[in-house]
Amino acid sequence: MTTETELLLKLQAKGNKDIAFKELVAQYKERLYWHIRNIVKSHDDADDVLQNTFIKVYKSIDGFKGESKLYSWLYRIATNEAITLLNKNAKRLQITNEEAQNLAINNMESDVYFEGDAIQLKLQKAIATLPSKQQLVFNMKYFQDLKYKDMSTILETSEGALKASYHIAAKKIEAYLTNN
């Protein structure tokens, strides 16, 4: 596997961009898909957001300055694209983001791509009760086991704030699971 630095050099070189981009997609598509899926819930929406993420990355890779890790930059773009989709869906349906999130959770039960059991569905419902920032932090830590340092770069906030958000989110989820 190509290191992040080598891949970035290939991506920014004039002649190899398309080949290097295919390598980037192969290396990151699954992790980014699941990150996005945890935010938007729907397989189809996750696919759309993933495609938009890679289009945006392809168009702007030359402007990447390397001030953060490449994957942190990718995750930030994917996160922003996922949030943009959620906001568009809520606006289109003329409902709040929370209502859109609940709708997405309810649709998971009929999603042929959802492979979770009743416990997983209950966990997703618990996560949906959290404010959006806590949802992001919880998903990134719990499902992807990202380090707070990396999350701090992706979400552009302090590690301390992220630790507090995760702790509060975990307590809220525990209370939800206990009471429902």
Residue 139 is which amino acid? N
pLDDT for residue 124? 81
Span(s) in the chain for CATH 1.10.10.10: 117-180
Contact in structure between 66 and 176 (CB atoms under 8 Å): no
Residue the block writes with tokens 């958000």:
165
Residues of the chain with CATH 1.10.1740.10: 1-115
Domain 1-115 falls under CATH 1.10.1740.10: yes
Q: How far apart are CA 7 and CA 40, in angstroms?
A: 28
133 near 79, Cβ under 8 Å? no
pLDDT in 10s for each residue of the chain, 180 residues:
568 888 888 888 878 788 889 999 999 999 999 999 888 888 889 999 999 999 999 999 888 887 788 888 999 999 999 988 988 887 887 877 777 776 666 666 555 555 556 677 788 888 888 888 898 899 889 888 889 999 998 888 999 999 999 999 999 999 998 898
CA distances from 127 to 7, 39, 68, 120, 143 (A): 35, 10, 28, 10, 12
**CATH number of the 117-180 domain:** 1.10.10.10
